[in-house]
Structure 1
Amino acid sequence: MKIKQIIIAGALLVSVTTFAQKDEFKALKKIYNKDVIKGEDLAEYKSLSDKVQPLAVEEGDKVYANFYRCMIPVLEYNAIDKTMAPMQIQMALMKFVSPKSITELAIGLNATLDYEKKTGKKIQTDDINETIASFKPELINYAVRLGNEKKFKESAEVLYSIYQLDKKDQENLYYAANYAVNAHDYDNAIVYYKELKALNYTGEGTIYYAKNKATGAEENFNTKSIRDNMIQLGTHISARDEKIPSKKGEIIRNIALILVDQGKTEEAKSALQEARKENPEDSGLIVSEANIYLSQNDTASYKRLISEAIDKSPNDEILVFNLGVTCGNANQFEDAEKYYRKAIELKPDFTNAYINLADLVLKPDAKIVEELNKLSTSPKDLKRYEVLKIERQKLFSKAMPLLEKAHQLDLKDDVIKSNLKSVYNFLEMTDKVKALKEEN
């Protein structure tokens, strides 16, 4: 008898919970369906949304409980006074919208769409599609604002969520990848780029321009027909079209470079070879591949690729300079000097090339000083001291004109000044030291 009572009591408890759950859902739906949402409505809606979460047991209940909760920012946006200035609307929007809430919105809406597609009951599908269409422009403006504030990671997160809401608009995925790179969030960036590659996204298209007669400013239009219609109406003149080139090569290139940065050498090699097929004239990709071989001590492959890069861009002073840096870091000092001098030949006012070349010239000085510090006052060591002193003088004399040229090109660089002063002091050029001090 007691067992039956327990079972009945349990059944009553479930029944009460179910009724309570249904009442909460009904109240939520009632507020959600209002044409005008007021402050007190929002407060009650949020409270009901919190109460529904732990009560939802069935799959459908869980989906819709999450749907009503993730829609809170949308209801808050709809409650904003739209007669305010656009900037005020944006400021109001930022009080309750965040990258996290937008991510949750995308997850919640997509889960609801998937569930209704599976069950064949389109309860919220049409409303969700309308919400995405109307709310999306504000979300894009928000993402742009975050980007302008240098909040690149947050901007990437928002743009990726917008893409999740509308996967036909792949451009948002492309910009999400770019912002992720700016944020040095390479783990997410490569995921986005790989998805773009899988989609075969190219970004190719045409921008349609015409000049506004009233303002004199050139404006762009989404379609040719809209632009041509404005010209026929007489509000615009001077139509022109601008082709948007394919971004496919750039995407593959960025995938390869991120893999290099992540140290995934074998995968990076394959990606770089693919990127080079898409970008045959990009000598930077050849250098990136060469650097992988250099890190693996494969000098032969490294030199072969470097030669290929120089053949493709013999007059690119930045490439030549970077090759000098790479060789210097690999202790290939003769090659480094050759590339720095070539960079100066191509660009006589290349300040950094003079600085790096001077540093290269002075590099042996560290070993000389180390040896000097070990010498004693014995006759033999004193004789060695004089030899080393002459060697140092030769080094400093060779570096001096390079540092002087760098200083001439950049009079405000304190590091150049300090190094030049040290050279003058060692060579006992007191007049030049005094002149350098007087520049301050």
Structure 2
Amino acid sequence: MKANKNVLLTSALLMSVVTFAQKDQIKSAEKALKKGNIQEVAQLLNEAEPLIANASEEEQGKYYYLREVVYMDAVDKKMDVAKNLSLAAKAAQKVIALEKKTGKKEHSDEMRKTITKVKEKLIDGAIEDSKAQKFNEGASKLYEAYQLDKKDTINLYYSSSFRLNAKDYDNALKELQELRKLKFTGKSKSFIATSVLTDKEEAFANKEDRDRSVKLKTHIKPREEVAQSKQGEIYKNIALILVQQKKTEEAKKIISEAKTLNPDDSSLALTEANLYLESNDFDMYKKLVSEILAKNPNDPDLLFNLGVVSANAKNKEDAETYYKKAIEVNPNYMNAYINLVALKLEAETPINAEMNKLGTSEKDNKRYEVLKAEKKKIYQSVIPLLVKALEVDPKNQDIGNTLMSVYGALEMSAEKKALKEKLGK
């Protein structure tokens, strides 16, 4: 029993020494901070770190406050900014949590300002990353900004968008599913007025600030702008990723759910039709397309998109029908002309492949002439489309070059020469 008491006494003395050492180092770090010696602060904190787990909550709060100061100083000096921003935010969060426990909120307000500052810097960093096409790095910053303030869900939305741009579909799906659970819509209202000084529109944080500026006559023409819901887009992207992962049935359920929430979103209906087309359920595809067209029979964008969907599914007959209908509704629909020409010219590929394999026998020569005639028909069929497209957009070099090539292939020298002069070549 005496031996056990001695062990306990020794342990108690050891803990007392450790606690004293912690307090001494933290006090020394506080003094170094007052003198502006950040390097010494960092060194003293490193010495205290192995012992901090056994410190009181009050001492831990002081420790993490000093850590936050060191990390933010490194950020200000542009030293490993991304890493130190993250560490500063975590230290600030610990200070707030510890001071909440102790009831001594000495640095909590300051730490909240730090978290806001870190969040702003992360968002600014993500914007710079996007300009440099570093979408994964930007997404990580945006997701971290969301973790710091989960009320600001728009950062999670933009993070998922960055992931999609980076083709990081697994992480994009996780973030999109989180947005779905949060029932995120992205709807927002902007309060705008035109500056008298610059004659440019400016956005205000709220209606009160905008109205105050109008009353002071520094701004005129107040208006409000409502951002459209992003819910349909979120569900659609979830479905597209699920399809890529061969989870078509799950994707169909997601789109069905999305249509219930957004009945007027034609892009969702189009995505659903595409899902059934890709799974070779042609009856359901036709049914859904009929429903879509019944609501918007003269929407050239919808008709064009149906053409794209059908072309992607190698359903060329339907694709050609929809492109032609889009042109009927809007004779100036440039993309419909381009896609229709491309669709028709695709038929040339297998013909060329077969022609290249032919020999010089009489049989092969006869087959060659048949294939040559088929190619001629294809070229002749695209001439009216290319001519009309060039009327719509006379400066379109791609259309002009394609038409010139077609004229050349058909040995239409006069037409080719006239077009060449017209294009200034």
User: Contact 1:186–1:258 at 8 Å: present in 2 too?
Assistant: no
Correspondence for 2:48: 52
1:133 is the counterpart of 2:113: yes
Separation of aligned partners in 2, 1:340 and 1:432: 26
Correspondence for 1:368: 351
1:75-115 Cα offsets, whole Å, 9 max, x none, are: 567xxxxxxxxxxxxxxx58257343333333333344445
1:314 is the counterpart of 2:297: yes
Unmatched 5+ stretches in structure 2? none
Which of 275, 278, 288 is matched with 1:305 structurally?
A: 288
1:236-268 Cα offsets, whole Å, 9 max, x none, are: 575846264673xx2353133234224343332
1:122 is the counterpart of 2:123: no
Separation of aligned partners in 1, 2:280 and 2:121: 49
Instruction: Using structure 1 for the length normalisation, give the TM-score.
Output: 0.75
**Structure 1 residues 365-404: aligned runs within 5 Å:** 365-404=348-387
* Structure 2 residue matching 1:257: 3-state secondary structure: helix
Separation of aligned partners in 1, 2:366 and 2:242: 52
RMSD: 4.0
Separation of aligned partners in 2, 1:205 and 1:359: 40
Q: CA shift at 1:205, angstroms?
A: 5.9
Tell me: CA distance 1:200–1:340, structure 2 relative to 1, closer, same or farther (3 Å).
closer
Counterpart AA for 2:289 = I
Correspondence for 1:26: 27
User: Contact 1:99–1:154 at 8 Å: present in 2 too?
Assistant: no
Counterpart AA for 1:25 = I
Please, which moves more after superposition, 355-364 or 406-415? 406-415
Counterpart AA for 1:51 = E
Q: CA shift at 1:386, angstroms?
A: 2.8
Counterpart AA for 2:370 = V
Correspondence for 2:320: 337
Correspondence for 1:287: 270
Q: CA shift at 1:346, angstroms?
A: 2.5
Correspondence for 2:249: 266
1:211-250 Cα offsets, whole Å, 9 max, x none, are: 6666666655444555555566x45575846264673xx2
Separation of aligned partners in 1, 2:408 and 2:352: 16
Counterpart AA for 2:301 = I
Q: CA shift at 1:284, angstroms?
A: 0.8
Separation of aligned partners in 2, 1:378 and 1:218: 75
User: Contact 2:214–2:222 at 8 Å: present in 1 too?
Assistant: no
Correspondence for 2:224: 242
* Structure 1 residue matching 2:297: 3-state secondary structure: coil
Correspondence for 2:67: 69
Separation of aligned partners in 2, 1:175 and 1:278: 21
User: Contact 1:404–1:420 at 8 Å: present in 2 too?
Assistant: yes
Please, which moves more after superposition, 355-364 or 51-60? 51-60
* Structure 2 residue matching 1:315: 3-state secondary structure: coil
Separation of aligned partners in 2, 1:169 and 1:226: 21
1:373-406 Cα offsets, whole Å, 9 max, x none, are: 3444443433333333222222221123323444
User: Contact 1:156–1:175 at 8 Å: present in 2 too?
Assistant: yes
Separation of aligned partners in 2, 1:308 and 1:399: 31
User: Contact 1:204–1:243 at 8 Å: present in 2 too?
Assistant: no
1:266-325 Cα offsets, whole Å, 9 max, x none, are: 332222122212221111111111222222222222222222222233233233222212
Tell me: CA distance 1:400–1:374, structure 2 relative to 1, closer, same or farther (3 Å).
same
Separation of aligned partners in 1, 2:172 and 2:249: 19
User: Contact 2:146–2:152 at 8 Å: present in 1 too?
Assistant: yes
Correspondence for 1:80: none
User: Contact 2:308–2:319 at 8 Å: present in 1 too?
Assistant: yes
Q: CA shift at 1:345, angstroms?
A: 1.8
User: Contact 2:192–2:204 at 8 Å: present in 1 too?
Assistant: yes
Q: CA shift at 1:188, angstroms?
A: 4.6
Instruction: Using structure 2 for the length normalisation, give the TM-score.
Output: 0.77
Tell me: CA distance 1:219–1:400, structure 2 relative to 1, closer, same or farther (3 Å).
closer
Correspondence for 1:324: 307
Separation of aligned partners in 1, 2:342 and 2:252: 32
User: Contact 2:327–2:336 at 8 Å: present in 1 too?
Assistant: yes
Which of 101, 107, 117 is matched with 2:90 structurally?
A: 107
User: Contact 2:235–2:254 at 8 Å: present in 1 too?
Assistant: yes
Which of 37, 42, 57 is matched with 2:38 structurally?
A: 42
Q: CA shift at 1:344, angstroms?
A: 1.8
User: Contact 1:63–1:108 at 8 Å: present in 2 too?
Assistant: no
Give the number of equivalent residue pairs. 409
User: Contact 2:30–2:41 at 8 Å: present in 1 too?
Assistant: no
User: Contact 1:372–1:388 at 8 Å: present in 2 too?
Assistant: yes
Counterpart AA for 2:147 = Q
Counterpart AA for 1:324 = G
* Structure 2 residue matching 1:56: 3-state secondary structure: helix
* Structure 2 residue matching 1:95: 3-state secondary structure: coil
Separation of aligned partners in 1, 2:157 and 2:292: 29
User: Contact 1:159–1:173 at 8 Å: present in 2 too?
Assistant: yes
Separation of aligned partners in 1, 2:221 and 2:54: 58
